[in-house]
Structure 1
Amino acid sequence: MTRSAPIISVDAMGADHGPSIAVEGIGHILRRRPESQAKFLLHGDEAQIGPMLEQADALTRERTTLLHTDSEVRMTDKPSEAVRRSRGSSMWNSLVSVKNGEADVVVSAGNTGALMAISKVVLRMKKGVHRPAISASWPTPRGHTVVLDVGANVECGPSQLVEFAIMGEAFHRAVHGSSEPTVGLLNVGQEELKGNDTVRAADRLIRDAGIDFKYHGFVEGDDISLGITDVVVTDGFSGNIALKTAEGAVKLVGHWMRESFTSSLSAKIGAAFLSMGGLDHLRSKLDPRSINGGVLLGLNGMVVKSHGGTDSEGFATALGLGIDMAGSGFLTEIEANLARLIAAGEAQSQAAQ
């Protein structure tokens, strides 16, 4: 469906800090991107959200439609329980809006496991994909590297890693605008014999299946932040550790900066002068809110997962990612390569018989 303006379906009840971040986040993203004609379907409790909308600016009220439900998925709910009890909740209804074609993208800061499970039930998986993956956009000197999976699949087989490669490459092209993204497999070394059986088998499968993307080969952990490839593929266990390690390193650098610039009067004066130049730019680069939002790839629909503990500025970033997704064609871009992967798998099965 082609629209003149994207429609974003928002699970307003899932965040740690309540629905206010969703309402305020809409206001922030409309001010950040005044050229956007985006509209928002806000799913949640009218008794809580209604007064917030009344106090919001005129543009936020004009672009937002509130759809009431008093049911929500809690952060403590197990995915299996959430699926059974979630029908009619703000998370469920936000996904149904996309399934029914009423919206283009879902944005939720809710329970990650529940969102993954309910998305699979409501939107279903794309043909050729076994399980969804969560992607993260990693800032690098060259722009952004897409890393996946960062937590949805702790253990992965070779074909799953190749699925992630296909989805990550299409996502980078659609959202980050690269014409020919390069893809690498995360490994403990770049040599052909390094790594476990799964990673080496995925490498062989990519080379043998004739996948239509620019494959770099193996990359190491420090290559992610250097931007050696546009897409880095790994299992959710390693990817989540890498992501959390990077977030911790950013916080450490921020702590050292604050400590250095407040250590003496002269340091404070120097910081004041620096803030008029490059320091503010550096702060924005180190601000995790500026890259908030992971995408659930592999579904018959687009879903953006915001960090549950973010504030309204961070939620606005996730909404902006949703707007970018709505204007892209990445869902259709992955189908040809998935078909090649399926064909390669069938050929391998026949050869083994």
Structure 2
Amino acid sequence: MSNAKNHIKGRGAQKKVHNRFFEHSHELRDDFLNYCASEGEEAQSSKTSLIDTFPKTIVNKVNSPDVGMNYSLNPYQGCEHGCIYCYARNSHEYWGYGAGLDFEQKILVKRNAVELLEKKLSSARWEASPIVLSGNTDCYQPIEKKLKITRKLLQTFLKYRHRVGIITKNALVQRDLDILRELAQDNLVHVNLSVTSLSEETRRILEPRTASIKKRLETIEKLSEANIPVSVMMAPIIPSINSHEIMPLVKEVSERGALGVGYTIVRLNGAIGGIFRDWIKKTMPDRADKVLHQIESLHGGSLNDSRFGTRMKGEGEFASQVAQQFKIAKAKYLKGRERTVLNCDLHEEFKNGQMKLF
């Protein structure tokens, strides 16, 4: 059970953390906290702020052999979803912010994302290759409802008949069913929906500002009914938190129309280890030590693992049990379903934004 007294409602990370690239750090002193308490003031703001950025490029080459994508595109940096385990937290330090609360409260908006994508897709040197939205942070996080950058990006992919993948845990993707249907007609899109648990209580503490489990299952169903290819990622699997849900989760999403299910094992690299440790001791004090020790058993005695080939799946007895459960679950609930290979052949004809006549 969580310690409500110390818990910051609506946030994953429970503290600000020092940026390792900065020489100086900030500390909340007890005398300042006592002053704020006596005056009825907040010691630190819980509001989200948007920061406009104008990068020079938007499509990123992905060199990791573990993540299954060649290129990614992230219209936002930082993510208000607040998933406590998120590997992208570390990347916020490169922008000059912390991986803790800063990651959830300071959202960088790439205002020229659409123009940069159009420039890339219309380039004579660009050869069609899969581009995945949300390789780092969710393209359908809450601010997208207002800004609609992701929707405009999808319209650009459609205009140039270019293949696109989507990774999200937000039901807001349903808003763009009209564009997704058109992309799917030419076999140009695949949606990967993240479903970490079937328990709403678990969802609320792990991923505080994400769509409910009910809405995510509904989203899988609606995408499937619209003939839009959809798969599910159970990512990450965390021992003693959601590790017991593999069989029922695969069964549930298969009944909703998912074509496949993948998974990753939790890994807590960089600043995330300290953030997660602080979070679980405040949120689940009764099992904190057990969970932390089990995570360490997956990564050779450490919360951290950066080795290609093992970092996503872990190693040891527990990792083997998880892999075996997924093998059984797929054979039982997903037999005969295949993930469609998307089309990269149309783009050359539409490189100027319309079909070539001659």
Indicate the TM-score class for this superposition, using the shorter chain for normalisation.
under 0.3
TM-score of the pair, normalised by structure 1:
0.26
Going by fraction, where is helix more abundant, 1 or 2?
1
TM-score, normalised by the number of residues in structure 2: 0.26
